[in-house]
Amino acid sequence: MAAIPVGILTVSDACSRGQADDKSGPALRQLLAGAGGRWAVVATRVVGDSQAAIAQAVGAWTQQAECRLVVVCGGTGVAAGDVTVAALEGLFAKRLPALATAMVVGSLRITPMAALSQVAAGVINQSIVVAVPGSPKGATENLQQILAVLPHAVDCAATGRSGTRHLHGEASSGIEIGSGDVGSGVVGSGVVLCGCNRPDDADADAPAPLSDPLGTAAARRARASPYPMVAADAALQLVLDHAAPLAPVTVALADLHAGLVVAKDVVAAEDVPAYPAAVMDGYAVLAGSGGADATYRVVGAAAAGDQGLADSQGQSVCVGAGQAVRVATGAAVPRGADAVVMVEDTRVAEEGADGEELAIRVAGAPVAGQHIRTVGHDLQRGAVVLRAGAIVTAAGGEAGAVAAAGAGAAGVCVHAMPCVGVLSTGDEVHDYGGPLPRGAVRDANRPALLAALAAMRCAAVDLGVARDDPDALTQALAQALRSCHVVITTGGASMGDRDWLKPVIEQRLRGRVVFGRVAMKPAKPTTFAVVPADLAADLAAADSAPARNCLLFALPGNPVSALVAFHVLVAPAIRKLAGHNVPRALRPSVAAVFIGPEWPLDAARPEFVRAALAWDHGLARWTARIADRHQQSSRIASMVGANALLALPRASAAAPTIRDGDQVTAIIISPPTI
């Protein structure tokens, strides 16, 4: 079942003025968080004891269906300032007195003071709104009394004029989930009923499909989506909550590439350097054996790579007082020497007939340790070279450090990169080559998504194009689950009579739709679902099944919508699967100055506008221009030259547009122009 978006409004003069901390809101959030992922708190707010403030906040959350459940805590007592119920009464399209009674009756079993509470419940637009007492104890106790029935109440309120008949089927006419034939790709069997009449021994964890049963005639399909609208930020959080890092694997040093995340500390196997090394070209001497402007006799030379200084008989030479050995940068400093004098600080004092140096004069007095890297100066044996969680970058330093410390002989333990499958759907979708029949379109989605995945260094699988047919979709998805951690589909996720993805996921794959709509423009129909790990194992060969839940992203069919949804929601999930922590999993964003003609904001949804981000060297700031003034979700050309998405807010009376010079947030999707 999709997570239901919830808003929690705390009513308190003291909290709104900062004179007290809100404890009831967090207590309610904790209660809902413990309900097995059924609820997602997407909005919280504190207002004073004002009917107008309460009505404004609740109205805003329910007007665009941002919150399907609103819990108002506080202001339900008998004092003159307790105005919550009065504020809500004028908003209720339908009162739900039985819910309010259930809260009171349940609370009276705990405390007689519950008799003084003015709890209330009702429907505003298509949302359930309940008012509970303001104390943390009273708020949670009251909500607990009705928590089990609220999901079904939310479902019923969301159906609007389409009715609730499909939510109240008898056991003999429930929604069939497949035949149990694994070979056909249809897995599982049984009947899913609503919470009103399901038998007591039914599997409480089995997801209840919200989609129309497969085979429902077009005239009998729901005319409005049963899936709650989830805010974009809340949708991203739900995605990240379900994306756990993949199990570590060991890769050869040569395969250590940018984007991999180290899963286990990499420890230096040897000292770097393993010997005292000259920092620069010069002469190794014994400091203190000569004063300022002293003369040293040259007794040999040591090049980089020499194992030691030896005389003509092969005997090891030890540098003594007044002696010098010519050394190259990186060469081992000979025994006895404790300082290196660079060439620039010397001059020839005596020259042989063959032009070789016999003696040098040193300017100044050498100091012990100068221009020498001691053993382990750069890295000591046993020191951590790369810590778990470190990200391998394109700069190359991580691979170099591992190699220098001799730590990569047995490979490096990193988080595996996820395998991602990309499937296009639609009878009208045709591949790249060949003639294009009338009414058909070229498949732009797969090439765009596969190119984006290649940039992330993922293992991408091209799953081709599936027809608008439940059996074909089931077979294609079942095949993908054999090897993919993530499956991305495009098309078939909206409200058309041939949009089968949601019912196939819920009714044949027994997947759980976490959310089925997102309040964003474009890509509102974006759907995110989870297929249980045990089902994936049933569908896949035993030696290749991913030992985890498989993540399914059903993206819209319009190519821009699909690509925007990928960058906003899918790419962060892939990075988290690859071991990135949450801040690093998100796309980086910068504050930029908007340049160009004003752009009208959308009144219903926040918008992600394709833009060209560049650095203004003269004013030392980021600037953003809309890449293409034609931003239709079908126009993939609007993505050409776009390296950022402008995250624009909804229009308001005070700010209906974005104007030249306004500051905007730019989400970087490819390297910007510097």
Q: What is the tens place of the pLDDT at every residue in 591-605?
A: 999 999 999 999 999
Res. 362: pLDDT tops 70: yes
Q: Which residues contact 438 (CB under 8 A, 6 or more apart)?
A: none
pLDDT confidence of residue 628: 83
pLDDT confidence of residue 1: 54
- Containing domain of residue 384, as a range? 248-272+378-415
- Residue at 202 is within a domain: no
The span from the CA of 64 to the CA of 49, in Å, is: 24
Place of tokens 């050309």: 637
The span from the CA of 527 to the CA of 668, in Å, is: 23
Same domain, 521 and 570: yes
Name the nearest CA neighbour of 226 among 177, 175, 180, 172.
175
> Between residues 497 and 330, which one has the greater pLDDT?
330
> Between residues 368 and 80, which one has the greater pLDDT?
368
The residue type of 361 is: R
Same domain, 663 and 564: no
Same domain, 297 and 428: no
The span from the CA of 174 to the CA of 170, in Å, is: 6
- Residue at 395 is within a domain: yes
Same domain, 133 and 31: yes
How would residue 549 be classed by pLDDT, with cut points 50, 70 and 90? Answer: confident
- Residue at 218 is within a domain: no
199-208 own/partner pairs: CB under 8 Å, 24+ apart: 199/171, 205/36, 206/510, 207/1, 207/506, 207/510, 207/511, 207/512, 207/513, 208/1
How would residue 219 be classed by pLDDT, with cut points 50, 70 and 90? Answer: confident
Same domain, 355 and 462: no
CATH number at residue 643: 2.40.340.10
Res. 544: pLDDT tops 50: no
Same domain, 422 and 558: yes
Name the nearest CA neighbour of 424 among 462, 459, 452, 479.
462
Mean pLDDT comparison of 27-41, 155-169, 544-558, highest-scoring range: 27-41
- Residue at 36 is within a domain: yes
pLDDT confidence of residue 539: 52
Give this prediction's pTM.
Answer: 0.66
- Residue at 324 is within a domain: yes
- Residue at 207 is within a domain: no
Same domain, 542 and 653: no
How would residue 665 be classed by pLDDT, with cut points 50, 70 and 90? Answer: very high
Res. 558: pLDDT tops 50: yes
> Between residues 158 and 200, which one has the greater pLDDT?
158
Least confident span in 335-339, 359-363, 386-390, 635-639:
635-639
- Percent of the chain exceeding pLDDT 90 equals 57
Length of the chain in terms of residues written: 674
pLDDT confidence of residue 175: 28
How would residue 330 be classed by pLDDT, with cut points 50, 70 and 90? Answer: very high
pLDDT confidence of residue 290: 79
- Overall domain count for the chain: 5
How would residue 306 be classed by pLDDT, with cut points 50, 70 and 90? Answer: confident
Res. 476: pLDDT tops 90: yes
CATH number at residue 292: 2.170.190.11
CATH number at residue 261: 3.90.105.10
CB 70 within 8 A of CB 59: no
Least confident span in 129-138, 213-222, 246-255, 518-527:
213-222
- Percent of the chain exceeding pLDDT 70 equals 87
CATH number at residue 571: 3.40.980.10
Same domain, 388 and 444: no
Same domain, 58 and 130: yes
Structure token digits, residue 421? 């499958």
> Between residues 482 and 266, which one has the greater pLDDT?
266
From 579, 606, 627, give the residue that closes a domain. 579
pLDDT confidence of residue 141: 87
pLDDT confidence of residue 409: 81
pLDDT confidence of residue 311: 55
> Between residues 374 and 108, which one has the greater pLDDT?
374
Same domain, 20 and 151: yes
Same domain, 503 and 618: no
Paired sense of beta strands 550-555 and 486-490, if any: parallel
pLDDT confidence of residue 566: 97
- Residue at 192 is within a domain: no
From 113, 131, 158, give the residue that closes a domain. 158
pLDDT confidence of residue 197: 38
CB 185 within 8 A of CB 478: yes
How would residue 209 be classed by pLDDT, with cut points 50, 70 and 90? Answer: confident
Same domain, 387 and 472: no
What mean pLDDT value characterizes the chain?
85
> Between residues 372 and 498, which one has the greater pLDDT?
372
- Residue at 331 is within a domain: yes
From 128, 158, 188, give the residue that closes a domain. 158
